[in-house]
Amino acid sequence: MLAVPISRGQLAKVISKVSACLAQPYEELLRLLPEEKIVNAEETGHQVNGQHWWTWCFRAELYVLYHLDAHRSADVLMQMLGEEFAGTLGCDCFPAYQRYMHECNIVIQFCLAHLIRDVKFLTTLPGAAAKAYGERLRTLLRELFQIIHARAEYSAREYRRQLQAKREEIVTAGTREVPDSQHCQAMAKRLRKHGAAYFTFITTPGIEPTNNVAEQAIRFVVIDRHITQGTRSEGGNRWSERIWTVIATCAAQGLSVYEFLCASLRGFWEGTAQPSLVPQD
């Protein structure tokens, strides 16, 4: 079977039509997102006609939603999740998430993996006091994860008690007898201000202590960025958001991307019902 050549203009028209047929399933997830009990978020850079934009990734249990925006601020979170988001947001400690937490009274689970990385850095600092401070925190965090990995050995009540006790040890060790090092002082300030948000998972069932699910969901977008060098128009932005959302959500739900696209195109062109990405109960 011979391949039929297609011009750049013809390809652009095809992409535009496919993008249009994916608008409905994308908008359905967009409306559903603020109602989720748990959402993990991550963001990465994106180029739009040479301008620096951002790809935001929102990972719910059974779907992933991507959003391209010129900003990397809490305003994007307020737009996507709302100012009255009643769920729990898993994320890193980037200032946008801090502002969202404080201005909108949002429950946050800051990523413990990021905290561990920063604590490890403290152990490489010059000066015995700074290294000892970092090692002390690193040991306590290691003990915390030993408790997590031994979950089956405890009753629910004892498991929570062990975690809470270790949380208090970590925050106390991180905020008392802090060396004069700039990095150590910054860590102490972070734990004083946001320490509780690193341990939301202790009291909120279903919350993971790390933001790994969102970081994994955004990896293929980073690969796409390296290959395509970004987008060049509003239409390209919408296409990227929608097709990335379809690919990642189909993977999360065990669906065929090809079959979903075929059904979407058929419904769009024939004026019949289109398939949905909204998880079914």
* pTM reported for the whole predicted model: 0.91
Residue 97 lies in domain: 31-108+211-270
Q: Give the per-residue pLDDT at 81.
A: 98
Looking from the CA of 224 toward its CB, the CA atoms found within 13 Å total 20
Q: Is 143 exposed, middle or buried (0-12, 13-18, 19+ CB in 10 A)?
A: middle
Question: What CATH number has the domain bearing residue 253?
Answer: 3.30.420
Same domain, 153 and 42: no
Same domain, 131 and 186: yes
Same domain, 117 and 98: no
Same domain, 178 and 134: yes
Over 70: is that where the pLDDT of 3 sits? no
Residue that terminates a domain, selected from 195, 222, 238: 195
Confidence tier at 187 by pLDDT (50, 70, 90): very high
Same domain, 136 and 169: yes
Residue that terminates a domain, selected from 195, 221, 240: 195
Same domain, 57 and 96: yes
Given a contact cutoff of 8 angstroms between Cβ atoms, the answer to whether 248 and 28 are in contact is no
Q: Tell me the per-residue pLDDT of 205-241, one tens digit each, with 9 for 90 and over.
A: 889 999 999 999 999 999 988 888 888 899 999 999 9
281 lies in some domain: no
Same domain, 149 and 263: no
93 lies in some domain: yes
16 lies in some domain: no
148 lies in some domain: yes
Q: Give the per-residue pLDDT at 271.
A: 85
List the one residue out of 115, 112, 111, 116 whose CA is nearest residue 40: 111
Q: Give the per-residue pLDDT at 1.
A: 46
Confidence tier at 7 by pLDDT (50, 70, 90): low
Residue that terminates a domain, selected from 164, 195, 226: 195
Please provide the average confidence, as pLDDT, over all residues in the chain.
Answer: 93
Same domain, 119 and 143: yes
Q: Mean pLDDT over residues 52-72, rounded? A: 97
Query: When comparing pLDDT for 5 and 4, which is higher?
Result: 5
Domain count, the chain: 2
Q: Tell me the per-residue pLDDT of 75-92, one tens digit each, with 9 for 90 and over.
A: 999 999 999 999 999 999
Q: Give the per-residue pLDDT at 272.
A: 87
Q: Mean pLDDT over residues 44-61, rounded? A: 95
List the one residue out of 234, 235, 257, 259 whose CA is nearest residue 245: 257
